[in-house]
Every structure is written in C-alpha cells, then in structure tokens.
Structure 1
Amino acid sequence: MIVLADSEVLQLLDMPAVIDAVRQAQIDHAMGTAALPAPLAAAHPTEDSMFLSMMAASNRDNLAVVKLLADIPSNSKRGLPTQRSTVLAVSASDGKPEAVLSGPSLTRFRTAAATAVATRALARKNSSVAGFVGAGALAHAHLNALSTEMPIQKVLVWSRSTERRHEFARIARERGFEVDVKESPEEIVRESDIVCTLTPSKAPVVRGEWFGAGQHVNAVGAPPRADHREIDTAGISRSSVFVDSLPGALAESGDVLIPLQEGAISHAHFRREIGQVLAGHHPGRVSDKEITLYNSLGTGLQDLAAARLLIDAAKKSGLGTEIDLLK
C-alpha cells in the first residue's frame, strides 16, 4: 500500500481532474453504483471534540474508503488545526489495503471541487461575480475551482482577518481577476451572483434578507455539528436547497437541522441531492429568478474520488512510501 504525506498530496492533485472525478462520483451515487452511508460521529466524553467516520464504496473506482475526521476546537489555543483527518483506502473487490492518505489537502481540493460542480449545475450560466465570505485556504481553493467551471470575472472578499482578506485579494489580482475587498458579509451577498460562505461559524454570518433573485449560494464552512451554521433560517427558507447527501445533512448540518427544529421548513425542503441533478433525475434551477443554495457537508464518496486519483498518480510518479501491511 502507498502512504502519502500532505506535501505529496499537494504535488499530485490537479483541480480539473478532481472536479471531473467528484462530478462522476456523485452521478454514480444517484445511479446506485456507489454506496454512501450516513457518517458516524463519536463525541469525546469530557471535551468539546468530535470524531467523524465518513465511508463510501465505488464499483467504478474499485475502492472502499473511510476518513476519520477529528474536529477539536481547543486545538486553536494550542496553535494547531481544529480539524485533522486521515483516509484509509482498500480494494472494493478483495479488501487489500491500497493507501493511507493525509486528509487536509485532499479534503480542501474535493470540497472546492464539489462546490464548483454544484455551482455549474445550479447557478445562472452567466454568473460572473463571485463573493467569498472567508479568505483562508479553503477560499483560495474555491476560487481555483469556481474559475475552472464558471466565467468568473470579478471577485469580492470579506474576512474577519484584515490580513487574510488583503492577501486573498492580492493573489486573485495576480491571477487576472478584478477584486473588491468588502467591509461586511452583507456587501458580499448583495453584490454577488455566486456566494461562498467559508467560515467555521457557530452563529449565522449570512442573512436571507440579503439574498437577491437568481442568486446561487454555497454554504460550505460550518463544521459537521448540529448547532453550527453560516446561513440563518430566512436564508434557508427563501432558497431551493440542494445537499451532497441527505442522510449526512440530516445527521450533522446545523444549516438544515436548526430551521427544521424551528418548524420554518419541512424535510421535503431538502430532498434534492446534487447527484440527482447531475444524473438528470431532478431539474435543479427552474428559473433565472430562483435562489439556489448548495449545503455542503462533504462526503466519503468525494474523498474516495480524490483518493482514486491520488493512488493512480502516485503509482505513475513514484511518490509516496510503499509498505506491506499483510506481511
């Protein structure tokens, strides 16, 4: 089996290839040729830490994977990432260990790729202004992915960190985009065709009263916790909401669960998975005035799609460390 460190994952991943792989994986799920159970969560008995097991299996890729995601808020006080993850991949045909992969860069790439796939499927085709609420590494990956799939010309950015928002703006300008740095999330939402929320927020940072006709919103940043959300109830209620996995959303998405608990919407509001749109089972956007929202939790099947690319690329390039667990 191959072991890949995060630096090697970064060398091997190619965003257009990840986008194509994630799109196909979500179609496979809708067609019944890939398995995607709901994630399992284990809370730390004494600390505010959560451990999430994300699984998937695919006929096409002949892989089964499990990613263990550790969400540890107290890590921020230690100067460590609040989320860490590792992916184990085995052959779906005989169970042979294929790879152990560092999770952070893999997750960042496949998350941005999934957003780009959903945006292409749901946003108005002429959407050219992309707004980013949050300016960290995930925002950079999203700009890369969205500009691959959509005719992005202008970029708007806001972050609580002044340093991050200006660094993001500098890099986006170097890539040839027109860029405006904004002073509030409201400005981002009111002036964008496509909005990406990319913050680890517990309380909403975006309000539905700011949404405009025809807008597309990607709610991406909130951690997999039922009490965390980036979009308020009005935003969810006003939007046609699409999810990557309905069981996953109903298990861990505060953006979904809080409006349900409040009685603002029903379960029927969320019965549209993006794979069903990609497979032609659901029309997606039905008018240029409709507000669409993609609620991204991330799935094990997206991890699997990226893992397949990494394993194949590592074998060709010679990167990674080969070990034999079966000796």
Structure 2
Amino acid sequence: MTLILNRSDIRGLLEHATAEVEAAVEQAHRDLSRGRVSLPAPPALDLPGSDGTFLPMAAVSAPAGLASVKLLADLPANRERGLPVQRSTVLVLSARTGEAEAVLDGALITRFRTAAATAVATRLLAGQDAQVLGLVGTGPLALAHARALSTVREWKSVAVWGRTPANGAALVDRISAELGLHAELLPGPREVTEAADVLCTLTPSREPVIKGAWLRPGTHVNAVGAPPRPGHREIDTEGIVRSRLIVDSFATARSKSGEVLIPLAEGALTEADFDRELGDVLEGLVPARTADDEITLFDSVGVGLQDLAVARLLIDLATESGTGTRTDLAA
C-alpha cells in the first residue's frame, strides 16, 4: 500500500518534530560522507519557450531502505499568476522491492529540511559566542529558520530585513511571540549583515543582496535562498572569496550553485575552495571553524537526500499515528 500525505498531514506530523527532523538530516549527511547513499547532481530539464525548469532530485539510501525523487518545478512565470514559483512532489520507493511507499507534497518537507540543514551547519560552524541572528528575507523559510536555530544558540536578538516592510514587521512579531526572542526590523541588508554573528540569506534573488565588504570577521553565513540555478546568487564574489566554504554536496554545488559557479567562472575561486561537505565536517574528516575571526559560509543548495531523510521520518510518524491516506497503486 502507498501512503499519501498532503500538506496538512505533513504540517501536523512535523510541527512538533524540529529535533527529529534535524537529527534525520544530520544522519543523512553522515551517511553521505560514509558512502552509504547515492546522491547524483540533479539534471536541469528546461521547459522550451519559457524560463521554467524542472529538477528531479533523486537519492538512494541503504540505511533508510528507500529511494526517492522530488520533482521540483521552478516556474518564475507563476509569480504573475499569483501562484508559488516553486512547487514539488516527492515519490518514495522501497529500496528492496521497488514498491511505491509514499507520495508526499514537497513544500513543507523542503522548508523543514532546509532549516534543519542550516541548524546543523550553524551548530558546527558558528562561533561559540554568537549572540545575534540575522535573517535577510521574510518569507516562510525565514520563520522556519528562526524556529530551527532557536535550539542551536542562546540568541540575544534577531535582526530582520525583507523587501516588503509589512512582511518584515509580521515576522518580527511572530519571532517575539512564539520564540520569546527580541527581534528588530532593520532598514536594509547591510545593517542586518553588520549586526549579525550568524547571517541567513533567505531570498529568491538572482543578483547578490549581500556584499562581502559588509561581513565582519568571525561571522558565519548560511546562503540558502537562491534558486538552484548557476546564474543565481545572494552573496557577491568578494563575500565568497573571504569565506571558508562548506557545501551540502560538492556534485550539486558544482552543477547548480551560482554562489560558487560565478566566482569560479571569474577565476576568483577554484574547485578546491568548495570541496568540503557538511557530512565530512560532521564525521571529523574536515575541520569546522579554524579560527575565531574566520568567516565561514554554508552553501545550502538543497539535495534530494535531505528530502529522503524527512520522507523516512514522515512515513514512520504517519504509520504510528494512522495519518494520511493509503491506496494500492497497482490495483
């Protein structure tokens, strides 16, 4: 039987499972470092006659006993239609029998696993005395990050900026009310960058919103928001060159991350500058922060293995609670 979970089902299962999601994502990256999973870089399937693209983000995990693919649709024209620019669905198969175990809406899976990966990276890479969290971008991903990162450090304050002031004010109110943290809306990305000990960029920007000259020594940056396209980035070349880079997957970053591909094409970066993976840091194969004044940057492109890890968790939670719909696709 195949489990079907819609967005409401997934919200109910994950809204109180922040720690479990983080643990699942961390273990997935450890398994990647140990060679226990297969994680190819996703091909870009461009839609002829448009700027739309589809990415099949696949992974196979021996420990999880699953193979999965999330088909991500990145359709900029949806913005004019009043629809989400990105939509996705996750198909999960048994790695042993090939049976379709689950079909899952991808929106919240993506949001939760992305924030969880940032939390893992921040715990490893941020300075121990980090007190100010900066959020550039005020969409749903920003709130998810505030929630996930609230378990990583004792934040003194949260600095926020977004292009729409009303959204920024609403985010500040929610962070204050839900997390009990002092949050403040600042006038621009520079002010947030200069205030933050840990900076999360969470915008769908095609052009840099953060300049390297703004980064203070010792800052940790999570570059999260740019779509997985070689020409899109949130951090300029100077910011990348000034930072010690950690990626979620070298193969995916080398294929999809404008954050590293644009400086690489400019000759400002080499592949050796971004071949350090998060899983290798977790496994102690690569050092994390090497100096108090070092600027560290986690380039979070997002990988199908993270989706698989959360899918495994969801299948287990849904089975325990009787959540979702079950059907025989072969009937």
TM tier, shorter chain?
Answer: over 0.9
Normalised TM-score (structure 2): 0.98
Compute the TM-score of the two structures, normalised by the length of structure 1.
Answer: 0.99
Aligned to 1:218: 222
- Which SS does the other structure have where 1:73 is aligned? coil
1:57–1:92 CA contact under 8 A, matched in 2: yes
The 2-side partners of 1:90 and 1:128 are apart by 42
Match of 1:271 among 275, 287, 307: 275
Q: Deviations over 1:274-321 (max 9, x none)?
A: 110001110121111100000001111100110001001111111111
Give the alignment partner of residue 65 of structure 1, picking from 45, 64, 68: 68
Whole-angstrom CA distance in 2 between matches of 1:35 and 1:121 = 24
1:40 has 2:43 as partner: yes
Match of 1:98 in 2: 101
- 2:314 corresponds to: 310
Aligned mates of 2:43, 2:231 — CA distance in 1 = 17
Q: Measure, in 1, the Cα distance between the counterparts of 2:196 and 2:189.
A: 11
Identify the residue that residue 262 of structure 1 maps to in structure 2.
Answer: 266
Q: Does 1:157 align with 2:157?
A: no
Shift of 1:62: 0.6
**Identical aligned pairs, as a percentage?**
52
Q: Which AA in structure 2 matches 1:100? A: V
For structure 2, the residue ranges without an aligned partner over 5 or more in a row are: none
Give the Å deviation of 1:150. 2.0
The 8 Å contact of residues 126 and 151 in structure 1, kept in 2 or not, is answered as no
Aligned to 1:11: 12
- Name the SS of the counterpart of 1:186 in structure 2: helix
CA distance in 1, matches of 2:128, 2:277: 20
- Structure-1 separation of matches of 2:61 and 2:291: 34
2:48 maps to a residue whose letter is P
Tell me the equivalent position of 1:280.
284
Query: Counterparts of 1:18 and 1:116 in 2: how far apart (Å)?
Result: 10
Q: Which residue of 2 aligns with 1:183?
A: 187
Equivalent in 107, 129, 132 of residue 129 of structure 1 = 132
Q: Indicate the SS of the match to 1:276.
A: helix
Q: Give the letter for the 1:66 counterpart.
A: V
Residue 87 of structure 1 and its aligned partner are, at CA, apart by 0.2
Aligned to 1:236: 240
Amino acid at match of 1:182: L
Q: How far did residue 182 of structure 1 move? A: 0.3
**Per the alignment, in what secondary structure is the counterpart of residue 226 of structure 2?**
coil
Distance across 2 between alignment mates of 1:126 and 1:27 = 26
CA distance in 2, matches of 1:219, 1:116: 12
- Measured after TM superposition, the shift of residue 126 of structure 1 is 2.2
1:97, 1:239 → 2: CA distance? 42
Cα displacement string for residues 185-223 of structure 1 (whole angstroms, at most 9, x for unaligned residues): 000011110000000001100000001111100000000
1:310 & 1:245 partners in 2: Cα distance? 23
Looking at structure 2, the residues matched to 35 and 26 of structure 1 have their Cα atoms a distance apart, in angstroms, of 11
**Structure 2 partner of 1:205:** 209
CA contact (8 A) 2:137 2:203 kept: yes
Q: Does the 8 Å contact 2:260/2:269 carry over to 1?
A: no
What's the secondary structure of 2:44's corresponding residue? strand
Any idea what SS the aligned residue of 1:225 has?
coil
1:37-77 alpha-carbon deviations (Å, 9 max, x no partner): 11111001111101001011111111110000000000000
Deviations 1:95-126 (A, max 9, x none): 11100000001100000000000111111122
Where do 4+ consecutive residues of structure 1 move more than 4 Å? none
The answer as to 2:293 corresponding to 1:289 is yes
Q: Which amino acid aligns with 2:43?
A: L
Contact 1:64–1:91, Cα closer than 8 Å, also in 2: yes
Q: What are the residue-to-residue correspondences of 1:129-148 with 2, within 5 Å? A: 129-148=132-151
The RMSD of aligned alpha carbons is 0.7
SS in 2 for 1:68: strand
